[in-house]
């Protein structure tokens, strides 16, 4: 059965169960009014006092109202529990009418008329699909990311959704892992800034306590924590990490979401140093609640309590329920562990009702803050839905975001752009020229895949009536995967039958534009790869095209950094488009034609081959660093490949060029509580307006523990007209130079720091030294 049919099947099935459950009427009680000018605490308390233990536990129970996409089904007694008013939250039900219908049914059965909270994975847009999050992060444009998150929130809240399972803020340094596409890449500072922007955008307020404002939703920081550090890049795999790495690298983006007022957290599937995150008191009690003072709510990931048994830490589901509650978890997604076992555990004295009260209070607080007690149908206005969903401003924003996310990796001899007024015959080749369904990526669960603009459509519209003439041959297909069985059944293994036609049209053209990549099921959750080259026979097709001697432009659509070692050497231009979403074809066509000057920069390094992984710019120096200028034996290096990645973090080309003036430091020494300013001029020295991402990196030369060779500490994205110069300045203070020492204390230690300001993590042309005094 095709994926889409499976989804539809489950969708209908689960809704049918819920509907059937609702036929049985129950003695309904009158509405209880919880409004008034009381504080939220008093209002929460007024409800809590009326609740039976069972009703409280019901609030901690969450179902998917849609389908079982990302894991096993629990017993799924949702119909039963609905009849007893024991579902606190449902996710992935969309549409004002749909949500209204389920809410009505819930209220009919909930003795105390407690509204249900509707959640969803609105990862990069609801119906207006923006680029996948990693692509959008490559724009380094925080305002843009906040805007797309806000647009997603407007659409989602108009479609019944009040709680978003996003942003995903996991640091990822391993492109084998399919979920790198959901985050903001390898860097702590950038990922933290992006995390804040996304929380601000989704919630639209500065703290969750203001959730009562109209059209606002709860955001959810996920997956707490270190999910991206899974062994060998395999999803759900174990994580063994020093506390130091946890504090220095993996926690900061989550802390940033707390600072940005995020309303909820989701647990991670993985175990961390032997303790699965979903049962990890250290994470949720010591760090999240005590150190960070987080007052919002915590939900498990999908069936994560059930999985405690497989992890080998819980004897059974009941034991798992106890362990997760003890760890400070408030809501159980899918496992039916809380709803089945908490009552018994209270009766046996294994847990206390107070623990349950704490969790339920947090859940009720959110429902009050969202205004659901005042109006449970607040998010169910079909008129608003019609006006808001896919409104022209959002579609335009999707176009802007898609253009801003495309990274130009190579452009030998200015192969690009292909200007409209320059006469050229262009052969369009490859499985992604007309591919439509993959353009939204794996996580756009509500984005209509039929609506995304293909590259073919974008290019034909762009070059209509121009001097550029297009011909097309697919050449080969994309290999597909049956997600139900994954690796056992790679289906549709492409053959070479189309090569001859592709080579034929290429031979009679001036330039070949090839569009290749990964089908969207090849990245995302549970889509990890050990070979991250272009799948199938796409490289073979490139090799065949290369023989024509014509220049090749390669446009890539994929969800992870790929091994492009052969392509980087043999093709003339490489455009990394990722999955750009709804406006894919138009955005990429703008870049190809030079109507938009590429301005995105990588947020994850591209390895030279899979054996280099993990390769990231902010690594340690080692005691035997390799020095290319003075190579010698017994240094930290490989025999067969350089240490550096193929394309480093922060890298990306433009159609224009930028000149950096010498960098000036206001003082070469800085007192502990002082500040210094780094200033420089950047000039657009090329022929076209453009945007440059100016990046500031530091290195702590000597510290009490070894420090990375470089760390991004600030950046500015600036627009420069042709010939224009702008003066920029960055302020450095001791916070910027601080780190976690071996006692996990956040310290600034005196000493020397290297400072670089440049166009990527590999740009060392502008170097200064700063002395931080005692």
Q: Residue 302 or 472: which CB sits closer to ligand BGC?
A: 302
Q: Residue 121 or 400: which CB sits closer to ligand BGC?
A: 121
Q: Residue 222 or 410: which CB sits closer to ligand BGC?
A: 222
Residue with tokens 């920081």: 221
Residue 224 C-beta: closest distance to ligand BGC, Å: 11
Q: Residue 164 or 684: which CB sits closer to ligand BGC?
A: 164
Q: Residue 268 or 694: which CB sits closer to ligand BGC?
A: 268
Beta sheet of 573-576, edge-to-edge order: 407-411, 573-576, 552-557, 511-517, 424-429, 468-473
Q: Cα–Cα distance between 712 and 699 in angstroms, integer?
A: 9
Q: Residue 302 or 740: which CB sits closer to ligand BGC?
A: 302
Binding to ligand BGC by CB under 6 A, coded x per residue (else -) over 45-84, reads -------------------------xx-------------
Q: Residue 198 or 222: which CB sits closer to ligand BGC?
A: 222
Question: Sign of the C-alpha dihedral, residues 414, 420, 426, 429?
Answer: positive
DSSP string, 313-348: S-SSHHHHHHHHHHHT--BEESS-HHHHHHHHHHHT
DSSP assigned state of 670: E
Q: Residue 125 or 475: which CB sits closer to ligand BGC?
A: 125
**Please, what is the Cα angle at 446 between 442 and 451, to 5 degrees?**
85
Residue 69 C-beta: closest distance to ligand BGC, Å: 6
Contacts of 440 (CB under 8 A, 6+ apart): 129, 447, 449, 452, 520, 579, 581, 582
Residue in 628, 95, 105 with CA at minimum distance from that of residue 384: 95
Q: What is the footprint of ligand BGC within residues 190-229 (CB under 6 A)? A: 222
Residue 165 C-beta: closest distance to ligand BGC, Å: 4
Active site residues: 301
Phi, psi (degrees; rounded to nearest 5) at 424: -155, 145
Stated as kind and residue range, the H or E segment containing 512 is strand 511-517
Q: Cα–Cα distance between 737 and 731 in angstroms, integer?
A: 12
| Tally of CB atoms within 10 A around 631 | 9
Q: At 697, is the secondary structure helix, strand, or coil?
A: strand
Residue 64 C-beta: closest distance to ligand BGC, Å: 7
Residue 235 C-beta: closest distance to ligand BGC, Å: 9
Residues 299/268, Cβ–Cβ less than 8 Å = no
Contacts of 191 (CB under 8 A, 6+ apart): 137, 169, 171, 183, 184, 185, 252, 253, 603
Alpha carbon distances (Å) from 31 to 26, 28, 380, 449, 534: 14, 9, 19, 42, 59
Q: Residue 301 or 711: which CB sits closer to ligand BGC?
A: 301
Q: Residue 71 or 447: which CB sits closer to ligand BGC?
A: 71
Q: Exactly one of 301, 319, 385, 400 binds ligand BGC (CB under 6 A); which one?
A: 301
Residue with tokens 């010939």: 723
Residues 179/270, Cβ–Cβ less than 8 Å = no
Alpha carbon 713 to its chain's center: 21
Alpha carbon 540 to its chain's center: 32
Alpha carbon distances (Å) from 670 to 261, 698, 770: 33, 15, 7
Termini Cα distance of the chain: 68
Residue 563 C-beta: closest distance to ligand BGC, Å: 26
Burial letters 121-147, b for 16+ CB under 10 A, else e: bbbbbbbbbbbbbbbbbbbbbbebbbb
Q: Packing angle between helix 40-48 and helix 353-369, nearest 10 degrees? A: 130
Q: What is the footprint of ligand BGC within residues 534-593 (CB under 6 A)? A: none
165 binds ligand BGC (CB under 6 A): yes
And the tokens for 546? 């290369």
Beta sheet of 264-267, edge-to-edge order: 220-224, 264-267, 297-299
Give rounded-to-5 percent helix, strand, coil for the chain.
35, 20, 45
Residue 564 C-beta: closest distance to ligand BGC, Å: 28
Q: Please, which residues bridge with residue 267 across strands?
A: 224
**Plot region of 115 (φ>0 → left; ψ -120 to 50 → alpha; else → beta):** beta
β strands within 247-289, DSSP E: 264-267, 271-272, 275-276
Residue 341 C-beta: closest distance to ligand BGC, Å: 22
Residue 135 C-beta: closest distance to ligand BGC, Å: 18
The Cα diameter of the chain in Å comes to 84
Residue 524 C-beta: closest distance to ligand BGC, Å: 10
Residue 102 C-beta: closest distance to ligand BGC, Å: 17
Q: Exactly one of 330, 525, 590, 691 binds ligand BGC (CB under 6 A); which one?
A: 525
Q: Packing angle between helix 455-463 and helix 584-593, nearest 10 degrees? A: 50
Q: What is the footprint of ligand BGC within residues 312-341 (CB under 6 A)? A: none
Q: Residue 165 or 596: which CB sits closer to ligand BGC?
A: 165
Residue 681 C-beta: closest distance to ligand BGC, Å: 44
| Tally of CB atoms within 10 A around 673 | 8
Q: Residue 222 or 362: which CB sits closer to ligand BGC?
A: 222
Q: Residue 117 or 428: which CB sits closer to ligand BGC?
A: 117
Closest chain position to ligand BGC (CB): 70
Interacting residues with ligand BGC (CB under 6 A)? 70-71, 121, 165, 222, 301-302, 525
């Amino acid at each position: 059965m095709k994926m889409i049919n499976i989804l539809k099947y489950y969708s209908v099935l689960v809704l049918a169960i819920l509907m059937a459950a609702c036929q049985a009427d129950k003695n309904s009680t009158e509405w209880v009014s919880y409004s008034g000018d009381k504080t939220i605490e008093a209002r929460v308390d007024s409800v809590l006092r009326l609740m039976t233990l069972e009703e409280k536990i019901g609030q901690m129970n969450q179902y998917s109202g849609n389908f079982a996409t990302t894991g096993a089904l629990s017993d799924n007694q949702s119909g039963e529990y609905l009849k007893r008013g024991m579902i606190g939250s449902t996710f992935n039900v969309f549409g004002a009418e749909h949500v209204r219908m389920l809410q009505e049914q819930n209220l009919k059965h909930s003795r105390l008329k407690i509204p249900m909270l509707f959640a969803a994975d609105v990862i990069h847009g609801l119906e207006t699909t923006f680029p996948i999050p990693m692509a959008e992060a490559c724009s380094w444009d925080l305002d843009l990311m906040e805007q797309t998150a806000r647009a997603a929130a407007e659409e989602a809240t108009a479609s019944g959704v009040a709680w978003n399972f996003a942003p995903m803020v996991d640091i990822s340094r391993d492109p084998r892992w399919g979920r790198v596409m959901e985050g903001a890449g390898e860097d702590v500072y950038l990922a933290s800034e992006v995390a804040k922007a996304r929380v601000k955008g989704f919630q639209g307020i500065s703290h969750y306590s203001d959730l009562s404002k109209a059209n606002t939703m709860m955001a959810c920081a996920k997956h707490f924590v270190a999910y991206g550090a899974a062994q060998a890049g395999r999803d759900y795999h174990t994580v063994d990490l020093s506390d130091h790495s946890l504090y220095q690298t993996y926690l900061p983006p989550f802390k940033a979401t707390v600072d940005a007022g995020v309303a909820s957290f989701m647990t991670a599937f993985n175990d961390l140093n032997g303790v699965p995150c979903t049962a990890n008191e250290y994470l949720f009690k010591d760090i999240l609640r005590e150190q960070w003072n987080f007052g919002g709510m915590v939900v498990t990931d999908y069936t994560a309590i059930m999985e405690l048994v497989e992890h080998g830490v819980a004897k059974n589901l009941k034991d798992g329920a106890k362990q997760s509650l003890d760890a400070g978890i408030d809501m159980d997604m899918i496992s039916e562990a809380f709803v089945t076992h908490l009552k018994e555990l209270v009766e046996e004295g294994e847990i206390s009702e107070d623990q349950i009260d704490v969790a339920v209070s947090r859940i009720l607080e959110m429902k009050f803050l969202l205004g659901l007690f005042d109006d449970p149908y607040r998010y169910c206005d079909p008129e608003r839905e019609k006006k808001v969903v896919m409104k022209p401003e959002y579609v335009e924003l999707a176009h802007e975001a898609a253009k801003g996310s495309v990274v130009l990796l190579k452009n030998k001899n200015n192969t690009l752009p292909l200007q409209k007024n320059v006469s050229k015959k262009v052969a369009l080749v490859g499985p992604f020229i007309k591919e439509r369904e993959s353009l939204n990526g794996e996580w756009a669960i509500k984005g209509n895949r039929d609506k995304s603009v293909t590259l073919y459509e974008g290019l034909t519209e762009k070059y209509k009536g121009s001097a550029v003439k297009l011909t097309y041959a697919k050449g080969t297909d994309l290999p597909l995967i049956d997600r139900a069985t994954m690796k056992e059944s790679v289906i549709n293994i492409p053959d070479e039958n189309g090569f001859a036609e592709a080579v034929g049209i290429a031979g009679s053209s001036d330039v070949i534009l090839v569009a290749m990549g990964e089908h969207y099921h090849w990245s995302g959750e549970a889509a990890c790869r050990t070979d991250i080259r272009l799948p199938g026979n796409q490289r073979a097709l490139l090799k065949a095209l290369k023989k024509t001697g014509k220049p090749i432009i390669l446009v890539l659509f994929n969800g992870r950094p790929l091994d492009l070692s052969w392509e980087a050497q043999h093709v003339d231009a490489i455009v990394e488009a990722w999955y750009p979403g709804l406006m894919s074809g138009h955005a990429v066509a703008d870049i190809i034609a030079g109507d938009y000057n590429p301005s995105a920069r990588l947020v994850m390094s591209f390895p030279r081959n899979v054996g280099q992984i993990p390769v990231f710019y902010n690594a340690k120096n080692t005691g035997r660093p390799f020095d290319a200028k003075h190579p010698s034996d017994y240094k930290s290096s490989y025999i067969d490949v350089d240490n550096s990645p193929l394309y480093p973090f922060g890298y990306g080309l433009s159609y224009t060029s930028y000149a950096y003036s010498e960098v000036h430091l206001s003082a070469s020494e800085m007192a502990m509580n002082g500040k210094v300013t780094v200033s420089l001029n950047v000039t657009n020295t090329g022929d076209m307006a453009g945007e440059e991402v100016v990046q500031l990196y530091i290195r702590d030369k000597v510290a009490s523990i070894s420090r990375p060779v470089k760390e991004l500490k600030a950046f500015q994205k600036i627009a420069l007209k042709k010939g224009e110069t702008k003066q920029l300045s960055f302020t450095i203070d001791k916070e910027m130079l601080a780190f976690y020492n071996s006692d996990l204390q956040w310290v600034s230690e005196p000493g020397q720091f290297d400072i670089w300001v440049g166009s990527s993590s590999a740009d060392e042309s502008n170097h200064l030294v700063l002395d931080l005094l005692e």
